[in-house]
Amino acid sequence: MTAAAERGALRTALAAAIPTAALYAMPPASIAGLSLVIAPDGWRTNTTAQVDYQVSVSVLNNGPDTTQALEDLEANAAIAWKATAAAGWQVGDMNGPEAVTYADQPYLAMTFTARRITTL
């Protein structure tokens, strides 16, 4: 499969795992509720015909800054991480929750990288 097809398959797997989340290819101007961003993160040569393709997967929530919101974020991040591994991607470490800002709106986010050998 090509890198674009692999990213599409990952998107499908994550949509099935967390059906209530909005999915984006790049961070949008604003996010409502639980969202997943699957952004291309480059590649490196593996063989002359294949590359080690990498994406960043971010789980975001713009709900109120409460203990429940943090617990929900961590639970959904774990689901996304496990679903990515089950889809055949090699997953990296999950970053801890952090505050991020998109379009002047605060969000909580957890991010991990995932790699897969593919063709461009």
For the stretch 41-82, pLDDT in tens is 999 988 888 999 999 999 998 877 788 889 999 999 999 999
Q: Given pLDDT bands bounded at 50, 70 and 90, which one contains residue 87?
A: very high
Could you please report the per-residue DSSP string of 36-91?
A: EEEEEEEEEESSSS-EEEEEEEEEEE-S-SSHHHHHHHHHHHHHHHHHHHHTT-EE
| pLDDT score at 37 | 93
**pLDDT-based confidence at residue 100 (cuts at 50, 70, 90):** confident
* pLDDT at residue 39 in the model: 92
Topology, domain 3-118: Alpha-Beta Plaits (3.30.70)
Q: How sure is the predictor about 105, in pLDDT bands with cuts at 50, 70 and 90?
A: confident
Look at residue 77 in the predicted model and tell me its pLDDT.
Answer: 97
Whole-model pTM: value is 0.91
Taking the domains of the chain in order of start, what are their residue ranges?
Answer: 3-118
Are the C-beta atoms of 102 and 35 separated by less than 8 Å? Answer: no
**Contact (Cβ atoms closer than 8 angstroms) between residue 81 and residue 90:** no
Q: Give per-residue pLDDT as tens, 5-45.
A: 999 999 999 999 999 999 998 877 778 789 999 999 999 98
To 10 degrees, the CA torsion angle through 104, 71, 34, 95?
Answer: 70
